[in-house]
Amino acid sequence: MDLVKEIERLKKDKNAIILAHYYVRPEIQDIADYVGDSLGLSQKAAETDADVIVFAGVNFMAETAKILSPGKKVLLPDLEAGCSLAASIPADNFAEFKEQHPDHLVITYVNTTAEIKSMSDICCTSSNARQIVESLPLEQKIIFAPDKNLGNYINSVTGRNMVLWDGQCHVHHEFSLEKILDLKNLHPEAKILAHPECQRPILLVSDYIGSTSELLKFSSTDKCNEYIIATESGILHKMKQTSPTKTFYPAPSDDPNCVCADCNFMKLNTLEKLYQCLKNESPEILMDEKLAKKALVPIQKMLEISEKLGI
């Protein structure tokens, strides 16, 4: 059976759209209707007229799509596709953290559960975090959660002193500065491009810092021909497609068993699972209506600010 043809047939029959993150397997990116980062995917989920959304990503992304499109059927190929960053912020603990800072506005990354979003004032992504923070008065006290590396970066470029939750993405947190510098020595002309979820020492040696989509855009428009990429390795597929004459090296991690940084959760998405998911319309993301409405408020604020700023 040709899985790609069957997926295309089912998609047409069911008026379905496939949304995929840059970090999923290349073969899924190639058949998706839209491939993007968290901000772009949220925007697409909000505007699609499809009856069925198949989200090739991780569970918080599918949850966000359901929150934005409650009347649509949202499917996730594998319910085990979680997120280490979202798991780093338990709701009970965060509620206690908020109580310790009662006069602070809460900005949370979209890489969180619906419950955490429901406790937030504004959501953000790595594409718009700086602009959202800068849209607020300087005197506004802010809690930023859950990624401390992104929060530290935003503090450094805005001059803010946001209170940070101590969370992290294991993929971005585990890049090895020593190994990256060794790779740079082997390829001295290569520019280092890093995601702001990386630790500060990685960012300090980088030539460009940006969200996944920003790294892609930079690599396609910059005149350099070699790059060391410090983010999840899935983006290299799109970078190579966009700039076939350029060379991309995945930044090494501290993991001795892996030379690159893979998100095992993202890689749980396969063509077979995508086919079965679309065929059986399962697993389906179902949400408590009251929770979804509360979680929608900070997401809408994020989208409104992004639209106003032209992001």
Q: Hey, what amino acid is at 90?
A: P
What are the pLDDT digits (tens) for 33-46? 999 988 788 888 88
Q: Where are the domains of the chain?
A: 3-82+266-286, 85-169+295-309, 175-250
Percent of the chain with pLDDT over 70: 98
Identify the pLDDT of residue 256.
66
Identify the pLDDT of residue 41.
85
Cβ(71)–Cβ(49) under 8 Å?
A: no
CATH 3.40.50.10800 fits 3-82+266-286, yes or no: yes
Identify the pLDDT of residue 257.
66
- CATH hierarchy code of domain 85-169+295-309: 3.40.50.10800
Domain 175-250 adopts which CATH fold?
Rossmann fold (3.40.50)
| Res. 260: pLDDT tops 80 | no
What are the pLDDT digits (tens) for 136-169? 999 999 999 999 999 999 999 999 999 999 999 9
Alpha-carbon distance of 282 to 287, in angstroms, equals 14
Alpha-carbon distance of 295 to 298, in angstroms, equals 6
Across all residues in the chain, what is the average pLDDT?
94
Q: pTM of the entire structure?
A: 0.93
Strands (E), 84-140: 105-109, 122-124
Residues whose CB falls within 8 Å of the CB of residue 5, separated by 6 or more in sequence, listed in order: none
Answer whether 85-169+295-309 and 175-250 agree in fold.
yes
| Res. 259: pLDDT tops 60 | no
For 292, phi then psi, to 5°, come to: -60, -40
Six-digit token pair at 52?
């069925």
DSSP secondary structure, 278-293, as one string:
HHHT-SB----HHHHH
